[in-house]
Amino acid sequence: MSQSQIKSQIQTETIAGVGLITLNRPEALNALTLQMVNRLSAVLNAWRDDPNIEVVAIRGNHKQGPFGTFCAGGDIRFFHDAAIAEDPALEDFFTAEYSLNHLIYHYPKPYIAFMDGVVMGGGMGLAQGADLRIVSERTKMAMPETKIGLFPDVGGGYFLSHCPGASGEYLALCGQMLTGDEALAVGLADALAATESLPELWNSLTKNTQLSPTKRFEQLQNQLTKTPPQPQWLDSQIDSIFSLPTLGDIIQALENANNHWATETLKTLRQRSPLMLHVTLEQIRRGRELCMADDLRMERTIVQHCFYTNHLNRRAESSETVEGIRALAVDKDQNPKWNPARIEDITPEMVAPFFISPWPDSQHPLANLK
């Protein structure tokens, strides 16, 4: 891909002390490639060190123009093809993406994410470290990775585990889609704005230049709605069931609950990768005790094992993740052949090696994160 193509997919401009980023790959719901991730990192690092830039904002383009879609995550077709080819660019992608997530979490200047439309997977990694996370009534937010034999990465072990009660476990395992007000209710957004107001809010960051960029940011922050209604999906049973010690306990409790919510939740879990459900629950529980840097290091270890699951003699095309992507996005038969096929067939010995780094500490790809 040429530099001009990459720049067209990551559009940037600087106006009145504000750095503006627009994700512009609408035909793929702004799904991230390695080149896009590297470009975002280069831009943010340059602006971090530029005294003329005081505030940064990011949004996505839809086919009809600005807003409407934020980012659907990483390019999973690339994951599939690169894994089968054992292309080293696959490992480069996750190292670069998680480094970018860390950069955003620790960005020293106000960083604003306009999370309109689809916000999933890697899109959450671009947004959850923001100082102001704006959603709309059009927001569709989720971490649905267990559906493709993966886990909620890009810092999901950190930000989902800090959702209230056991809602993080529920969201991580089920991949529940959230509207804007629901995201606000569980702490995955800071403010709710009407879709039609988004262009004006975006432009307000670069107008009224009598105020400093930081004051304009504070003005925007103060004018937005921050009190969400209670989301309907936040069933009182979530805390009592999803806080149970093991996935087996959670499944048993759902079977015993004998109500519509429990039946539908159980149906969802039975469709997900049994192996990665167990890994994901352990990830969230561990992530609750970690800082962002340590969580991302843990996730970089897990994702390595997802594609190269040597302890189960599975790698590349035979891996759980490649099979999940094949079923959803390549052959589109929606019929993944999970291995093992049942939640009850997963043993601790299958799960534990996902958390053992294949590298010495000093050689971990994210060893330098602090």
| 205-264 confidence digits (pLDDT tens) | 999 999 999 999 999 999 997 776 666 667 789 999 999 999 999 999 999 998 999 999
| 350-359 confidence digits (pLDDT tens) | 999 999 999 9
* The residue count for the chain: 370
Which helix (H) or strand (E) segment is 91 a member of?
A: helix 89-105
Please compute, for residue 114, the number of CA atoms within 13 A of its CA located in the half-sphere on the CB side.
28
Catalytic center residues: 74, 122, 145, 153
The pTM (predicted TM-score) of the whole model is 0.96
Report the mean per-residue pLDDT for the chain.
96
Scan for tokens 């719901």, then name that residue: 29
Phi–psi pair at 273, nearest 5 degrees = -65, 115
How far apart CA 151 and CA 169 sit, in angstroms, is 12
Domains and CATH numbers, the chain: 3-363 (3.90.226.10)
Q: Report cis status (omega within 30 of 0) of the bond before 51.
A: no
How far apart CA 54 and CA 325 sit, in angstroms, is 40
| 54-84 confidence digits (pLDDT tens) | 999 999 999 998 999 999 999 999 999 999 9
